[in-house]
Amino acid sequence: MSFLTIKGLSARLKGSTFPILRDVSLQVAAGDVHGLVGESGAGKSMIGKAVLGILPGSVEITAGAIELDGVDLLALPPIERRRRIGATAALIPQDPLTALNPSRRIGPQITNRLVDILGWPRPKAEARARELLAEVHIPDPDRVMRAYPHELSGGMRQRILIASAFAAEPRLIVADEPTTALDVTVQKQILKLIAEMQARHGTALLFVTHDLGVVSKVCQSLSVLYGGKVIEATGVRDFFRAPAHAYSRALLAATPKYTDPLASLTPVPEAVIAAVQAEIAAYDAGHGRGAVQAVLRGARHG
Amino acid sequence: MAEKARVDGRSHIRRRAGPRLWLSAGWLGVLLLAAVLAPWIAPQDPLAQDLFLGRLPPIWVQGAEPGFYLGTDSLGRDVLSRILYGARLALIVALVAGFVTCVIGAAFGLLAGFLRGWVDVVISRAIDIWMAFPPVLFSILLIAVMGPGLMSIIIAIVVIDWTRFARVVRAEATAQGAMDYVASAQVAGRGRLSTMVTEILPNVLPTIIVLLTLEMGIAVIVEAILSFVNLSISTDDPTWGGMIAEGRTSIHQAWWVLIFPLITLFLTVLSFSQLGEGLKDRFDPVLR
């Protein structure tokens, strides 16, 4: 029984026919880690945002369902939906530098979640926040609780955000490129930390990334996106052993090899891109959309 | 772990209040005291006319009379006493008009910048249209309609200047609204308005405070301009603008009637603007 089920989710920019998501379906089982992979502009972050109900105002969902623990979020009234998401899901954002409120101390930023979502009394929330900070290997949690975000390094802030995401024991966490804004040495620690916390808390994770190397380390299954469409969805083992789709194979081939840093990078061949775009155009035509040209242009720039 | 408990050097920067803050706060403090204590410390009755004492020079110039420290105007009224009493009106206008303008303008700016959508469209277009009116003419018109008086001045300032706050706060709120911490708050189940107040407002506050002090300075100027064109409160009550207007006519015979209120006005407006910057430097937790 999957915990998060997305069925036929389509979205577009308001006031245009340009689709951002095309009939996206995916499932994440409770306690599983599912990777969302694709180039920038492929719509992977949009899926995460749609699940958490924080799509930008310029995007509207045109079809589909997002079932969280068996309840279709899109069918709920806004207030009810927000409460439900708050109680069951959380976000590890991309950029730790902008993801903490700069004018408030760290302590309240974590404890407020516990107070808001779980209705805990403040002293209990504070004790728990301290535990959480220790759990993400932050030395001297007391001091960090009293610090302002700008007093801490990016890696520290990402640890705090991870602690904060796991704080209210959500059953699903959307990690939106959680290591992209960090430098390589810190990236590795943060990945390890996310994997460790995920395993300990048994939280399902929707892991948005453009890095297949990351996927191979933390995910059990993945969906490859292009132009807002799922090109391939499979288990991680199968994917790395034998990717089914030509685009997936090209993407895999384009991943830099750390064992051979001097080898020149292989871009995804033009022919493969043309083939995927033709596939999407065919899909659009089959769904009566007249935006094929726009799609091709958009995909090329995206 | 490789990372140490780096509540690092960044937290150890101590920011001094600096001469900017002290000087401006000092001058405004003196002015506030002067305004409150005017009846007790003013050497003369600010309204008492005596044509035999007309155009007395300041105390250090040949021909001065004791007790008239900064000289007298052409009707024999004591310049120092009138400046002291004028401070009352100037400060009341600065504080009341400044605060009301700030609250109204910032509220509209926050709503427009954070809620976006049609709210933003309506408020932004209103600001555009509003700002197309020439402000001085607009205020003169308003006061001509409402009749002169303290209330009218304050209303005129609020009506004209709320756009200044709304526009800047809107831009800031828009920028803050795009930050991930706002998204996180929403994921955690916070409502829109609650997010606006608890997440956005504290981060826009430093800007609002700077604008507020600027606005107080502007309010003093506007009051002076309106007094200058005789549209302030009744002509009997001493106002700095009124004194400047009177002094202008006798600048060649009695420069002090113009110069002293002018200096007071200048220092006050300058102090307000510097106070805002100084406070921001000192108290904004985010190093910008």
Chain A neighbors of B183, CB-CB under 8 A:
49, 52, 54, 91, 93, 99
Cα A160 from Cα A152, distance rounded (Å): 10
When scoring B184, B186, B193 by the number of chain A Cβ atoms within 10 A, the one with the most, hence best to mutate, is: B184
What is the pLDDT at residue B104?
A: 96
Question: Taking CB atoms and an 8 Å limit, are B183 and A85 in contact across chains?
Answer: no
Domain contains B45: no
- Chain centroid to CA A226: 15
B109-146, pLDDT tens digit by residue? 999 999 888 999 999 999 999 989 888 788 888 888 88
CA distance B203 to chain A (A): 6
Q: Give the Cα-Cα-Cα angle A24, A206, B184 (nearest 5 degrees).
A: 105
What is the pLDDT at residue A294?
A: 47
Chain A neighbors of B117, CB-CB under 8 A:
57
Question: Taking CB atoms and an 8 Å limit, are B189 and A150 in contact across chains?
Answer: no
Domain contains B206: yes
**Which member of B11, B184, B185 has the closest CB to residue A151?**
B11
B224 pLDDT band, cuts 50/70/90, is: confident
Tokens of B250: 């006798």
The residue of chain A with its CA nearest to that of B201 is: A103
Question: Taking CB atoms and an 8 Å limit, are A85 and B187 in contact across chains?
Answer: yes
B248 pLDDT band, cuts 50/70/90, is: confident
B287 pLDDT band, cuts 50/70/90, is: low
B286 pLDDT band, cuts 50/70/90, is: low
CA distance A89 to chain B (A): 8
B15 pLDDT band, cuts 50/70/90, is: low
Could you tell me which of A26, A2, A13, A17 has the C-alpha nearest to residue A229? Answer: A26
**Which member of A54, A57, A89 has the closest CB to residue B116?**
A57
A172-207, pLDDT tens digit by residue? 999 999 988 888 888 889 999 999 999 999 999 999
Q: Give the Cα-Cα-Cα angle A187, B2, A34 (nearest 5 degrees).
A: 30
pLDDT at A297 over 50: no
Tokens of A84: 């439900």
What's the domain range around B57?
32-40+50-283
**Beta-carbon-side half-sphere exposure of residue B61 (alpha carbons within 13 Å):** 12
Overall number of domains in chain B: 1
H/E segment holding residue B182: helix B180-187
Instruction: Report, as an integer, the average pLDDT of B35-39.
Output: 90
pLDDT at A6 over 90: yes
What is the pLDDT at residue B11?
A: 55
Contact A45, A93 (CB under 8 A): no
DSSP string computed for A243-258 = --SHHHHHHHHHSPPT
Tokens of B92: 């009341």
pLDDT at A257 over 80: no
Question: Taking CB atoms and an 8 Å limit, are B117 and A57 in contact across chains?
Answer: yes
Chain A neighbors of B180, CB-CB under 8 A:
91, 93-95, 98-99
**Which member of A113, A137, A148 has the closest CB to residue B285?**
A148
What is the pLDDT at residue A220?
A: 92
**Which member of A113, A147, A168 has the closest CB to residue B7?**
A147
H/E segment holding residue B18: helix B18-41
Q: When comparing pLDDT for B52 and A160, which is higher? A: A160
> What percent of chain B shows pLDDT beyond 90?
37
A224 pLDDT band, cuts 50/70/90, is: very high
A107-121, pLDDT tens digit by residue? 999 998 898 888 899
The residue of chain A with its CA nearest to that of B185 is: A113
Question: Taking CB atoms and an 8 Å limit, are B5 and A139 in contact across chains?
Answer: yes
Tokens of B124: 């932004």
Sign of the C-alpha dihedral computed for residues B71, B73, B77 and B81 taken in this order: negative
pLDDT at A135 over 70: yes
**Which member of B10, B117, B180 has the closest CB to residue A151?**
B10
B19-31, pLDDT tens digit by residue? 888 999 999 999 9
What is the pLDDT at residue A1?
A: 67
Measured torsion, CA atoms of residues B151, B155, B157, B158, in degrees rounded to the nearest 10 = 140
A35-50, pLDDT tens digit by residue? 999 888 888 889 999 9
Buried b (16+ CB within 10 A) or exposed e, B137-161: eebbebbeeeebebebbbbbbbbbb
pLDDT at B267 over 90: yes
What is the pLDDT at residue A190?
A: 92
| Whole-number Cα distances in Å, A65 to A77, A223, B153 | 14, 17, 58
pLDDT at B5 over 50: no
**Which member of B187, B199, B205 has the closest CB to residue A90?**
B187
pLDDT at A248 over 70: yes
CA distance B33 to chain A (A): 34
Chain A neighbors of B195, CB-CB under 8 A:
none
When scoring A79, A83, A103, A169 by the number of chain B Cβ atoms within 10 A, the one with the most, hence best to mutate, is: A103
Domain with residue A104: its CATH number is: 3.40.50.300
Question: Taking CB atoms and an 8 Å limit, are B184 and A79 in contact across chains?
Answer: no
SS (H, E, C) A110-164: HHHHHHHHHCCCHHHHHHHHHHHHHHCCCCCHHHHHHCCHHHCCHHHHHHHHHHH
Buried b (16+ CB within 10 A) or exposed e, B186-224: bbbbbeeeebbeebbbebbbbbbbbbbbbbbbbbbbbbb
Question: Taking CB atoms and an 8 Å limit, are B6 and A82 in contact across chains?
Answer: no
CA distance A171 to chain B (A): 13
**Beta-carbon-side half-sphere exposure of residue A166 (alpha carbons within 13 Å):** 27
**Arithmetic mean of pLDDT over chain A:** 87
CA distance B197 to chain A (A): 12
Q: When comparing pLDDT for A293 and B90, which is higher? A: B90
pLDDT at A276 over 70: yes
Question: Taking CB atoms and an 8 Å limit, are A85 and B5 in contact across chains?
Answer: no
**Which member of A99, A112, A137 has the closest CB to residue B180?**
A99
Domain contains B17: no
Is the ipTM higher than 0.85? The answer is no
Question: Taking CB atoms and an 8 Å limit, are A152 and B5 in contact across chains?
Answer: no
pLDDT at A288 over 70: no
Cα B270 from Cα B23, distance rounded (Å): 10
Cα A223 from Cα A76, distance rounded (Å): 26
Cα B152 from Cα B104, distance rounded (Å): 17
Length of chain A equals: 302
Question: Taking CB atoms and an 8 Å limit, are A95 and B181 in contact across chains?
Answer: no
CA distance A258 to chain B (A): 22
H/E segment holding residue B214: helix B201-228
Query: What pTM was computed for the model?
Result: 0.80
pLDDT at B1 over 80: no
B285 pLDDT band, cuts 50/70/90, is: low
B9 pLDDT band, cuts 50/70/90, is: low
What is the pLDDT at residue B13?
A: 59
Domain contains B4: no
pLDDT at A132 over 60: yes
Helices B201-228, B240-249: crossing angle, 10 deg rounding? 40
Domain contains B22: no
Question: Taking CB atoms and an 8 Å limit, are A102 and B2 in contact across chains?
Answer: no
What's the domain range around A266?
2-301
What is the pLDDT at residue A266?
A: 79
The residue of chain B with its CA nearest to that of A82 is: B189
Contact B265, B220 (CB under 8 A): yes
Overall number of domains in chain A: 1
Domain contains B248: yes
Instruction: Report, as an integer, the average pLDDT of B50-63.
Output: 82
